[in-house]
Structures are given as C-alpha cells and as structure tokens.
Amino acid sequence: MSRACTRGLPFRFWPESDRALWDTLTQSGDLFDMSGPLSGMRPASLEKLRTGYGFFLGFVQTTMPDLLSRPPRDRVTEPVLRAWLASLEGLAPVTVAGYFSALTTIMTTAYADTDWSSLKRARARLHRRAKRAGGSRSKTHLPSAGEVVAFGRDLLRGSEDMADARKSAEAFRDGLMILVFIHHPMRIRNFAALDLGRTLIHHRDGFEMVFSADETKQKRWVSWRVAEAIAPPLRHYLDVVRPTFPGHDRPALWLRHSHGPWTVPGLRRHLARLCATRFEGRITPHNFRDIAATSVALSETVDARVIRPLMTHSSPLTAERHYNQADQLSSARTFHAILEKMR
C-alpha cells in the first residue's frame, strides 16, 4: 500500500460535509444556543480526534476518492475499514488504535441512532492489541534513569568538541532536553510549552517550572523546582547557547535552526530519534515517565504513593502499577546507584 495512504487530510481540505459535521459536534453554545456533544472536551483531546479522523479521510481521498462525495456515515463500511487498517500496517498498534478510536467516537456521537456495535467491537480489539503490544515489552528493555542522565551529560560534553557552531548548539540543547525531561518527567505538551518568564521562571536562587490548572491534564496547578544538578547547564543554555538560535526573542525555551517553533508532534519525534542514537528500541517521551517512576519504585521500599505527586497522577493506581513492575526487576539496579550516576 502506498505510504500516501497513511497521511492525514488537513482540516481545510476536508469535504464540506465533514467540516460541517465537525463544527456541529464541537460548537460551543451559550444560555440559548445548544452546545455540540464534544464541545466539553479538552482542546488536546479534540485535536487527537480531528487528527485521527483526518487520517481516515486521507486514506479515502487517496484510494477511494469517489466516496468523499457521499455522506460521512456511508463511507464507514467494513470493506473500507479493512482496507484502511491494512494501509496502516507498520504503524505502532497504539497509533492505529488511536486513529480508529477517533473515527469511532465521531461516528457514534454524530449518528447515535445507527447501530455501531461492530465498529465498537473492532475498536475494543484494537485497544486490546495495543495494550498487549505495549505490555509485551519488558521494562528491562528501558534504560535506567542513570543511563538517561549519562546520555544527556555526554551530549553536553560532546558539544564542546564540535567545530561546527550550529551542531554544537544543537547538541547542547539536545543534552539539556534529555536532562530536564528525566529530572522532571512532565507530559510532552507541558515540556513543549516551557516559556521564559511564564512557565519557566528564573529566581535569584534557581529556576521554577509552573503550570496553571488549564495547562495540565489533571486540571491542577503544578510547580517544580528545577533540580540543582541541571541548573548550571540551563543557565549556560539561556546565556550562551539559546541566543545563537533564530527566534531567540520568542519566549519558547526550546528553539531550533529551521522549520520554525517546535510543535508537540515534532518535539516528540525529535526526542524519540535522539534516544534511538543511544538506546535500543523505541524510547518515547512517555517512556521517560515510566523510567522515572520505575527508578523511584526501585528505591528500596519506597511507598508507591511517592510516585503520584512526581508524575502528577490523579489516581494512585497508575503509580502502583509502576511499583509492581519495578518489584519484578533485578534488585541490583537500586535507586542509590541511579543517583550516583546522575552526579
């Protein structure tokens, strides 16, 4: 199947019927106007729905363009869905499940009077498949927090020996990214939203990262004191390295030499590619949270509830899952050894 079949269709190119459907589902009303059934979702969640549905439309446009003239509901048939899923082979199961779930949510919400039981069953199977694929990867395949810290510091040191000023700046920035992320395992959207003077504040005695309730998944105000170990390289980045990047007058902490400001998907891909240069397998930004939680849980008999505020989890169940996984790992990888490597 052509790679083009896995490209999403931007919203501005959606058929008029699909754009009208989306507007109806997401419109915000007031005391007198009806709100759409999806209007209460977070912007990030709506963007995921729109992206997933856009991938379905992109497939239809590439392989069955005549279907775009039909009502949205009429395109969602078993033969079309089977062909679409076949075109997504090679993508991570969790990605495929996410795209399919977006289509299912939109169809079942927009056409609630239609029997979508087969669509829902397929969605459930894809989610189970994604869960099995994620669960089959033992946590021993992930590097320890100490190994990630060592990787970040190696990038910082390596940048000093580079003759090319541009590559040196990028290497230092990348090393700092790794260090900030492993010391403060925030969600990627918050990591991308680090802005000078707003979410990253420089005090006389150090740095602080602050996110309002509107900026966090759990709708809670969050604040971290930047670890002392990474304060010196952060100062060097702000004073010496960051000013060499285009757009350094912008508030964004993370800059690059081309393609404009970082987007969340772009930053996610960049960090994954960066980790692939050092570690086996695919290490995603979310894995940094797994690594940090596991490292805390490995610290002798630390209560799993300690992980909850670190990860900003709203429920201790997720944290306890990390603790249970860590308990099965080799006792040789202790938290004290990890701290020693972080120095």
Q: Where are the alpha helices (DSSP H) in the chain?
A: 16-26, 43-63, 72-75, 78-87, 93-110, 117-135, 145-160, 165-183, 188-192, 231-236, 264-276, 285-297, 307-311, 316-327, 335-342
Q: How far apart are the first and last CA of the chain?
A: 49
Please give the structure tokens belonging to residue 107. 């169809």
Output 237 or 138, whichever has higher pLDDT. 237
Judged against a pLDDT cut of 70, whether residue 281 lies above it is answered with yes
CA dist list (Å): 8 to 66, 109, 148, 278: 17, 21, 33, 31
With H, G, I as helix, E, B as strand and everything else as coil, classify residue 105. helix
Closest CA to 38 of 55, 52, 21, 51: 21
Q: Cβ contacts of residue 103 below 8 Å, gap of 6+?
A: 52, 53, 56, 76, 119
Please give the structure tokens belonging to residue 336. 């004290």
Judged against a pLDDT cut of 90, whether residue 104 lies above it is answered with yes
Calpha distance 269→31 (Å, rounded):
42
Closest CA to 174 of 201, 151, 207, 208: 151
Residue-wise pLDDT tens digits, 29-74? 665 667 789 888 877 788 888 988 999 999 999 999 999 999 999 9
How long, in residues, is the chain? 343
Work out the mean pLDDT of the chain and round it to a whole number: 80
Beta strand extents in the chain (DSSP E only): 200-203, 206-211, 222-225
In this prediction, residue 283 carries a pLDDT of 85
Closest CA to 289 of 333, 325, 254, 256: 325
Which residue has 């090393």 as its token pair?
175
Which residue has 């060499």 as its token pair?
244
Judged against a pLDDT cut of 80, whether residue 196 lies above it is answered with yes
Residue-wise pLDDT tens digits, 128-154? 888 877 644 444 467 878 888 889 999
pTM, whole model, 2 decimals? 0.55
